[in-house]
Structure 1
Amino acid sequence: MAKKGRSPSPKSARAPVRPSAARPAGPAPSGTAAAPTRHAVRPRRSTYIEAVVIYERGLEALQRHDFQVAADLFESVLRQYPEEKELHERVRLYLNICQRQAAPREAIPQTLDERLYAATLAINGGNYDQAIVNLRLVRDEDPDNDHALYMLAVAHAQRGDLAEALAHLERAITLNPENRALARTDPDLEPLRGNETFRTAVDTAAGSRGVDRRRLVRTRFTR
């Protein structure tokens, strides 16, 4: 029996390819790097350039240790260019350095008399710590200097160090009994007056020597 031949199957029809529609312009999809946008560089103000020139001159003067000239230049930047705020912080930093270096420094006392005088000024000004520093130097160099010991008693009494004050006062009176009469009426020793040790020290009969009035004047602190 003859086989019937298969009729060829029709090929599946392919859908026509449509051209893709043009994408509308818009932001790039997520994950796609956008092209960098160039910003115009803002030019520096002419005043900024002028201020920097003066600032650099100030730095040069500072490096030469010409502190007063440098300070004047830095101050002129602050005064003449108030709008240059970004420069002011650095200017003020160096200006403070110049002002500290240019400030006159007090001469350091070297001799016993200079230290005693400096201590007297310090006590009169209420700077008892500085007075004690100078007086201890005198005491270390001249342990029997009753003037320095008496002033140490005053400085410690005013600072509230009563035990230290009494010890120095007793030593000063032992070395020179004239200090007893001075201590009786000295207002700078007022913090000690309620202390029994103080009363005993100043009420004890004075030695055979009379009180030297010139010394009383010298040891008082003129306020």
Structure 2
Amino acid sequence: MAKNWTAEEEEHIRNNFPAQTYGELAEHFSVTTKAMESKIRRMGLKKQAILAEAIRPPEPAPVVQYEKPTVPKEPTPEPIESIHKLERRIEVYEETKKERTVRLEKTRDAAEVEKARREESRKQAPVAQALKTFEAGVKKLNAGKNSEAAKDFQALLDGPPTDMGLVLRARQYLSATISAEPLEPTLKTAEEMYNHGVVLFNNGDVEGALKILGVAAKQAPKDDRIMYVRALALGVSGDEEGATEQLQAAININETNRVYAHNDPDFAPLHGNPRFQELTEPQGEDDID
């Protein structure tokens, strides 16, 4: 006798059909396997279709198409019209008569100022030169060059007057150079003159030495020391004849002067003079070289 299937039984079949065999389902409902297969066919169930549905891969996600963002284009500026095509406007300023008068007066005043400046500059040029000369004289005076400084100060006094203050100062400094000159000592005796003459000769003042020794020789014509130093000074000055004459006179008074002259290096200018060689030649064993 055929089995009447309830809705619950059919639902059970649908839920368990994929996992259970026909035999297991038939045993559950107490029917034959053949009857179970027939029921399943009538219900339209197919195990292969259910399995295929179960293992079907998921459908791919739909591809979303994105539009590439576009940068809005800047509006193209309107072309600038060539400057040569622009209308040129030149405004000509008309100077009024009053303005022209003022402008000319300013120009004339500026010219007068420049003229005065140039005249003042020309006046100051001699003063500047005089000041330069004065400063040079002061430097020489401070350096002990009194005679050279005196020339600068005298030049200021001899020149055309420039600045009265500068002239007065030049006169004062000129007096200072004169007062700063070493004064010749007051010499009275031939001995004092002889000693001073030796000092002058040793200091290189040959002319001064000859001058003072000449005065001393007049006071002491027989002083061989004065003659000897005069011979030295004359030899250095280049007067070989006068030098040998004075040396001869000194030797005549004191024979020792021959030895002194032979060994004195200050007579070097006369070493080539035959007369000097004759005068200084040793005369005997007592002469000492």
TM-score (norm 2): 0.40
What per-residue deviation string (whole Å, max 9, x for no partner) do you get for residues 34-55 of structure 1?
xxxxxxxxxxxxxxxxxxxxxx
The CA deviation string for residues 121-177 of structure 1, in whole angstroms up to 9 with x for no partner, is 101111011111111112111111100000000001111111110110011111110
Q: Following superposition of structure 1 onto structure 2, how do residues 168-187 of structure 1 map, counting pairs within 5 Å?
A: 168-187=246-265
2:247 aligned with 1:192: no
Any residues of structure 2 matched to 1:82-121 within 5 Å, and which? 85-101=163-179, 105-121=183-199
Q: Supply the distance in 1 between the matched residues of 2:186 and 2:284 (Cα, whole angstroms).
A: 38
Distance 2:288 2:263 in 1: 17
Cα-to-partner distance string for 1:94-144 (whole Å, 9 max, x where unaligned) = 331244236552322211221111011101111011111111112111111
Contact in 1 for aligned 2:190/2:217 (Cα 8 Å): no
With over 3 angstroms needed to count, the CA separation of the structure-2 counterparts of 1:160 and 1:103, relative to structure 1, is: closer
Counterpart position of 1:141: 219
Q: Is 1:132–2:216 an aligned residue pair?
A: no
CA 206–121 in structure 1, closer or farther in 2 if over 3 Å, else same? farther
Q: Deviations over 1:30-74 (max 9, x none)?
A: xxxxxxxxxxxxxxxxxxxxxxxxxxxxxxxxxxxxxxxxxxxxx
- Structure 1 residue 207, shift from structure 2 partner: 9.7
Match of 2:125 in 1: none
Post-superposition Cα deviations, 1:181-209, rounded to whole Å, max 9, x if no partner, equal 00111001011111111111111515989
4+ runs deviating over 2 angstroms: 101-106, 206-211
Moved more, 142-151 or 86-95: 86-95
Q: How many residues align?
A: 128
Larger radius of gyration: 2
Alignment RMSD (CA, Å): 2.5
For 2:242, the aligned partner's letter is: E
Structure number with higher relative contact order (C-alpha < 8 Å, ≥ 6 residues apart): 1
Distance 2:264 2:233 in 1: 13
CA–CA distance in structure 2, aligned partners of residues 158 and 210 of structure 1 = 24
Amino acid across the alignment from 2:217: R
After superposition, the Cα gap between the structure-2 partners of 1:98 and 1:146, relative to the gap in structure 1 and judged at 3 Å, is same
Following superposition, the deviation at residue 89 of structure 1 comes to 1.8
1:167 to 2:245 alignment? yes
Question: Unaligned 5+ residue runs, structure 2?
Answer: 1-161
Equivalent positions of 1:60-71 (< 5 A) are none
Please tell me whether the aligned partners of residues 228 and 246 of structure 2 are also in contact (alpha carbons under 8 angstroms).
yes
> Which structure 1 residue ranges, 5 or more long, are not aligned?
1-83, 212-223
Q: Which amino acid letter does the alignment assign opposite residue 137 of structure 1?
A: V
TM-aligned CA deviation for residue 85 of structure 1: 4.5
Whether the 8 Å CA contact 2:259–2:287 is kept in 1: the answer is no
Note closer, same or farther for the CA distance 1:189–1:210 as it changes in structure 2 (3 Å cut). closer
Identical aligned pairs, as a percentage?
Answer: 25
2-structure distance, mates of 1:194, 1:165: 13
Distance in 1, Cα, partners of 2:185 & 2:164: 39
